[in-house]
A and B are shown apart, each in its own frame.
Chain A
Amino acid sequence: MSTSSPIIEFSKVNKWYGEFHVLRDIDLSVAKGERIVVCGPSGSGKSTLIRCINRLEVHQSGTLTVDGTELTDDVKSIEAVRRQVGMVFQQFNLFPHLTVLENLTLAPMWVGKIPKAEAEERAMQQLKRVQIAEQAHKYPLQLSGGQQQRVAIARSLCLTPKIMLFDEPTSALDPEMINEVLDVMVELANQGITMICVTHEMGFARSVADRVIFMDQGQIVEQNTATEFFANPKNERTQDFLSKILAH
């Protein structure tokens, strides 16, 4: 791991939804190329945490710096950050009225100002990477859930982001399709991209994560290397959560 400055830095970040204090004094540094899994009970603020990174959520106090740019209301800096951050959603959020290929070339053409031919070539490359190139001309609703999520991953990769965020990417999938998506994520992880993943898939965390973070009630309760985290959870809340999750 490099010892240069962190690519994401949370410093005393707080967020409120109305009166509800959803993120409390978050301090977090993510190094370039690091792979992080965030877990915790629902309502703990883990999705909110990663959505702050690409400004889908706005934090009210503290500083959040992504790839050297501090996230404020400045429109230009937000645009710059979003170009470097890709996001995969639980509900895929593919555009149903466009083909798979059009879904992938949309942002490179309209945001990246890349010519159509080059954008399509890039798109086909990414589709091959997630092993779904043969579906390029189908429409999203014609594909299965696992296929759609892989297309969604390919779509965010088309902009060559430095950071990939995953918000419970397999939670909406039928069990037999979870593995095909996890395989793609493992392969991505092995290629050195910075990843932050909110997930319940502990097997994935154990094999891929450099660091596992446990959140509860808006704070980071415990964080450790993957092996240490699962072998010796220190906090009793962590132990409680793990016992529930790993019971099956």
Chain B
Amino acid sequence: MSTPPPPKRQWSWRSQAFRGLLYQILAIVLLALAIAYLMSNTFANMRARGIQSGFDFFLQPAGFGIGESLFDFDSSQNYLVAYLVGLSNTLRVALVGLVLSTLLGTLIGIGRLSHNTLVKVLCTSYVEVTRNVPLLLQLFMWYFAMTELLPSIETPLKPMTDVFLSKNGLQYPIPVWEAGHWGTLLGMGAGVVAASLWKRHARLQFEATGIYKASLLPALGLFVAGGVLGWLLGGAPGQLDIPELTEISVVGGGSVSPEYLTLLIGLTVYTSGYIAEVVRAGIQSVSFGQHEAAVALGLKRSQELRLIQLPQAMRVIIPPLTSQYLNLIKNSSLAVAVGYPDLVSISSTALNQTGRAIECIAFVMLIYLSLSLLTSGAMNIYNRSVQLKDR
């Protein structure tokens, strides 16, 4: 068998390969021309308006303060640090929002499939209402509730002892960091190790003898015990910074602003509606025949859920769940509308101050793009690894 002859290149209009090449070159040239035109306009306009370009302004002092942040920031620090504060604020609300909306969404998604009609109707209404009203409007409504309907700081609500809720946000006791807390952290780490060892032991026992030992609760117990033990060994540091109600205000303790609470609650409620639908679709995707086969084999409901339905449902749930997570992260950019200093909000302040629109906006877009690509990349890897293997 000889090798096939190389394809004859025909440089004529009739050859498909030639035409394809021509189209591509044409497209690239047109695009390059368009970009060149736009850029020349841009430079002309910027010169006319006296706007400078370049990313050097990032190292100049910001000149503005930021309402709230995880670490101290003052106006003498440069723009780059300001952006970092913005990013940390975004992550602060997005990560907590992701966890809460997943929990809430999963419960509601399962509730939509319940046989109990009351539960099903309530969950369906929740999903319909949260998905059919724009997020911005929901945020405005929550913001109004936080800033107008809550009492002022002189007479705050007390949902629990030492926890105060008012127009100024939520204030709560927060432990003061002492050296002894390293003991707690180390204890928790040891607890994690002990828990995974126990789970392994329980699994090997089950395979060897067929007797099943519960592994979730003991594992949890070991984790908690490890933490407590470590805390005790660290000298049992118990100092708390407790907020106190004075005549005019609440002083001390950890706090979150009403803007943070608005964004967190708004994002959680909105996204949980979508997650509920994703979870519901995933559970329903497992065919009824799987349930019948499990039942015919004698599996209990809990075993069936854990061994048959959940693994198969997860495959269907994870990809759309990831895009909902990305949506939540992107939706956190609406913070600018309620005055929460997230990444977009700080970038817009910087833009107003320096006039360097392209640099500011481009930088923000780059950060979001990296977050998106990272998350989709991780999801693709996971997806490929759990694909049902077929011919």
Touch A–B, Cβ below 8 Å: yes
Task: Tell me, rounded to whole Å, the shortest Cβ–Cβ distance linking B119 to chain A.
Answer: 23
> Which one, B105-113, B220-228, B288-296, is touching chain A?
B288-296
Choice from A83, A110, A142 contacting B307 with Cβ under 8 Å:
A110
Asked whether B381 is an interface residue with its Cβ less than 8 Å from the other chain, the reply is: no
Say whether, besides A93-B290, A110-B303, A79 and B298 are in contact (CB < 8 Å).
Answer: yes
Which A-chain residue is minimally distant from B208 (CB atoms)? A115
Say whether, besides A82-B296, A89-B293, A97-B311, A142 and B390 are in contact (CB < 8 Å).
Answer: yes
Chain B interface category by residue count? 20 to 34
Report Cα–Cα, A93/B304, bound state, in Å: 14
Asked whether A66 is an interface residue with its Cβ less than 8 Å from the other chain, the reply is: no
Asked whether A238 is an interface residue with its Cβ less than 8 Å from the other chain, the reply is: no
Report Cα–Cα, A119/B311, bound state, in Å: 22
B295 and A56 contact, CB distance less than 8 A: yes
| Interface 0/1 of A49-82, CB less than 8 Å to B | 0000010100000000000000000000001001
Choice from A56, A89, A141 contacting B388 with Cβ under 8 Å:
A141
- CB-defined contacts of A91 to chain B, threshold 8 Å: 287, 289
Chain A interface category by residue count? 20 to 34
Asked whether A106 is an interface residue with its Cβ less than 8 Å from the other chain, the reply is: yes
Which A-chain residue is minimally distant from B291 (CB atoms)? A93
Say whether, besides A97-B311, A106-B297, A155-B297, A56 and B303 are in contact (CB < 8 Å).
Answer: no
> Which one, B124-132, B209-217, B329-337, is touching chain A?
B209-217
Task: Tell me, rounded to whole Å, the shortest Cβ–Cβ distance linking B52 to chain A.
Answer: 59
Task: Tell me, rounded to whole Å, the shortest Cβ–Cβ distance linking B204 to chain A.
Answer: 9
Task: Tell me, rounded to whole Å, the shortest Cβ–Cβ distance linking B207 to chain A.
Answer: 4
B210 and A115 contact, CB distance less than 8 A: yes
Residues 94-130 of A at the B interface (beta carbon under 8 Å): 94-97, 106-107, 109-119
Give the 9 A-B residue pairs with the shortest CB-CB distance, closest first.
Answer: A141-B390, A116-B207, A93-B293, A93-B289, A107-B297, A113-B210, A87-B296, A139-B389, A111-B298
Q: Which residues of B are at the interface with A, using a C-beta cutoff of 8 A? A: 206-212, 287, 289-290, 292-293, 295-300, 303, 307-308, 311-312, 315, 388-391
Of the A-B pairs whose beta carbons lie under 8 Å apart in the complex, a sample of 14, sorted by A's number, is: A89-B292, A89-B296, A93-B290, A96-B312, A97-B312, A106-B299, A107-B298, A109-B210, A111-B303, A115-B210, A116-B207, A116-B208, A119-B210, A141-B390
